[in-house]
A and B are shown apart, each in its own frame.
Chain A
Amino acid sequence: MRLDELPLRRPAHIAAIDWNMLDVAAARRLRELGFDEGVAVETLHRGPFGYDPIACRIGKMTIALRKALAAAVTVEPA
């Protein structure tokens, strides 16, 4: 399942990240914010317009990102 499809408040962990889908800066920022294979993730909020962007918890942080970026992250619900 892709991160942008993960139902709200369903605990999951990151199975894979397709770094090739992202440009260099976005990929680096994603890593800096703690996105990594095996890390626990949970979607908390969706934007008011078109459910975009989404906000998800990663580690202790809450990160907002657009669905287009979240699509690069494959998750496995717990």
Chain B
Amino acid sequence: MTPAPLIALVGNPNAGKSALFNALTGARQKVGNYPGVTVERKSGRMALDDGRPIEVLDLPGTYSLDPVSPDEAVTRDVLIGVQEGERRPDALIVVVDATNLDNHLRFTLQLIGLGLPTIVALNMIDMAERDGTEIDAARLAAELGVPVIPTVAVRKRGLDALKDAMGRASIGGGRPIILPALPGTDLTSLQRRARAIALAATVQRPMGRAVTERFDRFALHPVFGPIFLAVLMFVMFQAVFSWSQAPIDWLADAQVWLADAAVRTLPDMFLRDFLVEGIINGVGSVVAFLPQILVLFAFILVLEASGYMVRAAFLMDRLMASVGLSGRAFIPLLSSFACAIPGIMATRSIDDPRDRLTTILIAPLMTCSARLPVYALIIGAFIPAEQVVPGVGLQGLVLFGLYIAGIVGAMAAAAVLRRTVAKGGGGGFMMELPRYQLPVLRDIAIGLWQRTFVFLRRAGTVILTVTAVLWLLTSYPKVPVGSGLKQSEYSIAGHIANVLEPIVRPIGFGHDMALAIIPAMAAREVAVSALQTVYSIDAADDSSQGDKRLAERLRGAWSLPTALAFLAWFVFAPQCLSTIAVIRRETNGWLWPSFTLAYLFGMAWLAAGATFWTATALGL
């Protein structure tokens, strides 16, 4: 069987490529990686009206065929047919932003010059009309020598005509009639030609990008802009706590129900203990934080899709410059609040290698969602749920403070790194501020689903394995009956923690905490299930404590300075092996991941120590 024809979507960033990709393929998408590089490969299946299957490839957005960054290099290599692990596309859909025709047409001319069957999707045509730009698609098609289909990807307009054109292109139709330019023709003359074509095919009534301009006067205002950004961030972190409470309770109820069902149906034996205490309670305590992670991701996705994220980069550029970074680093760093892994991968859009290295090294300091379960547990247990002023809770405020601590730590680290190991270069910041768009629910939903899937897969594999192993390590060997010893101290894990304990004792960590930070190396959120395991096993010795919740147990076992020190530790500690692995991939060697481990552990120890000593001295 011959493989389905491969049609690649290609175009400038902000042309609406991903929206068109989602509209064409729906949920039938596959996200992977190109071999050897960490560039995401997104492909999906669709069927034409006559039933023929087509594979659609969403190539990374780029401004030209001369790559600056690794993902732009992938786009070029796929298009000229030399990318490892990818066949050359049978046809191209060039996605063009109709509101920005002259600039996007230059790249279109370069792409038509490749000689593949090409379709131009004249996207966001509704926006152009709203701007007072009328585009003569037939005239444009005649000038370019390829079919031009007006589309509105987010409203699924123009998809039928596009599918017809794809059907013809997939069997070799729609090859450019003329070869207007070969790749490599200099940019300036291509640009001039693009402008001439755009001018010929459009009628412009005098109107501005009214909505975007009016909002930008506020959002980029020197005073109101930063205030608005700060308020937005603050609301985001408050929402993470307050909006997720109900679903968290449902998940907790479901977990209790599952554990009860297991206890009722299974005979009392090793397997049942393992299932209930090791797996259901261990994994359950981590999955319980899925609602918070989703709220955070939803905010980040909406900010990105609306076009605001780039404005945030604009506002922050100067501050970032003061520690030697660029505003471009702001987006990867903000993504790192969800997870450092996509954040570190997003640094590929930073042209300057020193800027990029620094951003990679500090990305783990951004408070990723995996820390949330730990923060949520400790804050919930030790910080009273009071209102400081109406609408602003103390717990949310402490959470906000932890985020700020991570940011300040990262900025300090960047300033030092930029003057030492990543000296020189920099000074560049140049980016397009695209128009604002109403985020499309469907695209946000697809993004959320993909992240939920990744999180649940992690919970199902890494976290499950670690939780299970930890349960075994903490449960065996069994403490002799009547010896008065605690199970967690007597077990194998207890002995491992004994080795670690002298190192963390000065910063106020007890044996149970030493025990919890070992498996948290694999994934931070495992610290919660580790504590859960440690305490539910100890509690089994004393049935009166049997069903006390973990937070209450911690409150009984830890002092406030200890809890605060534990929080400070988690702000800085490099506790996620996947992040270290991604840093290794992105920097091509073990030097920088080892460096990251060393400097972050150093910072974590000092920060936890400083917190513990200060809090103790203040008599908290």
Interface residues of A (CB under 8 A from B): 23, 25-26, 28-34, 36, 44-53, 55, 59-66, 68-69
Contacts and interface: CB of A to CB of B under 8 A. Distances in A.
A59 B185 CA distance: 22
B311 to A, nearest CB: 9
Interface in B223-262: 223, 225-226
Interface stretch (B43-51, B98-106, B282-290, B543-551): B98-106
B102 A59 contact: yes
Given A33-B63, A61-B432, A66 B213 contact: no
B68 interface: yes
Contacts of B187: 28, 31-32
A47 B103 contact: no
A64 B327 contact: yes
17 contacts: A25-B428, A26-B351, A29-B68, A31-B188, A32-B106, A32-B187, A36-B188, A45-B220, A51-B222, A52-B318, A53-B317, A55-B220, A62-B432, A64-B431, A64-B433, A66-B321, A69-B429
A50 B322 CA distance: 11
B315 interface: yes
A42 B225 CA distance: 20
A69 B433 CA distance: 17
Nearest to A66: B429
A55 B429 contact: no
Nearest to B101: A60
B25 interface: no
Contacts of B351: 25-26, 29
Contact of A33 (B103, B188, B310): B103
Interface residues of B, number: 43
A17 to B, nearest CB: 10
A45 B216 contact: yes
A48 B223 contact: yes
Contacts of A53: 314, 317-318, 327, 429
Nearest to A32: B63
A45 B191 CA distance: 25
A60 B429 contact: no
Contacts of A30: 430
B402 to A, nearest CB: 25
Contact of A48 (B102, B195, B225, B428): B225
B164 interface: no
Given A45-B220, A46-B222, A63 B430 contact: yes
Shortest beta-carbon contacts, A-B, top 6: A49-B318, A32-B63, A45-B220, A62-B433, A48-B222, A65-B430
B188 A48 contact: no
A26 B427 CA distance: 10
Contacts of B221: 48
Describe B's contact surface by its main secondary structure.
helix
Contacts of A46: 222
Residue among A32, A59, A65, A68 with the most chain B CB within 10 A? Answer: A32
B430 A55 contact: no
B428 A34 contact: no
A26 B430 contact: yes
A66 B187 CA distance: 22
Contact of A47 (B191, B212, B318): B318
A61 B225 CA distance: 20
Contacts of A49: 318-319
A5 B581 CA distance: 46
A49 to B, nearest CB: 4
Given A28-B187, A66-B427, A33 B318 contact: no
Contacts of B429: 53, 64-66, 69
B562 interface: no
B428 A26 contact: yes
Contact of B314 (A23, A47, A60, A69): A47
A50 B315 CA distance: 11
A69 B429 CA distance: 8
Contacts of A50: 318
A43 to B, nearest CB: 12
B64 interface: yes
Given A60-B100, A61-B100, A52 B428 contact: no
A75 B101 CA distance: 24
B136 to A, nearest CB: 17
Contact of A52 (B102, B213, B317, B432): B317
Nearest to B428: A26
Interface in B426-477: 427-433
A61 B103 contact: yes
Given A25-B351, A61-B100, 16 more contacts: A26-B430, A31-B191, A32-B64, A32-B106, A45-B220, A47-B315, A48-B223, A48-B315, A48-B318, A60-B103, A60-B209, A61-B432, A63-B432, A65-B429, A66-B429, A68-B427
B321 A52 contact: yes
Contacts of B427: 66, 68
Interface string B185-201: 00110011001000000
A28 B430 contact: no
Contacts of B319: 49
Contact of A34 (B103, B222, B313): B103
Residue among A49, A52, A63, A69 with the most chain B CB within 10 A? Answer: A49
Residue among A25, A45, A49, A65 with the most chain B CB within 10 A? Answer: A45
A31 B64 CA distance: 10
Contacts of A61: 100, 103, 432-433
Residue among A23, A34, A48 with the most chain B CB within 10 A? Answer: A48
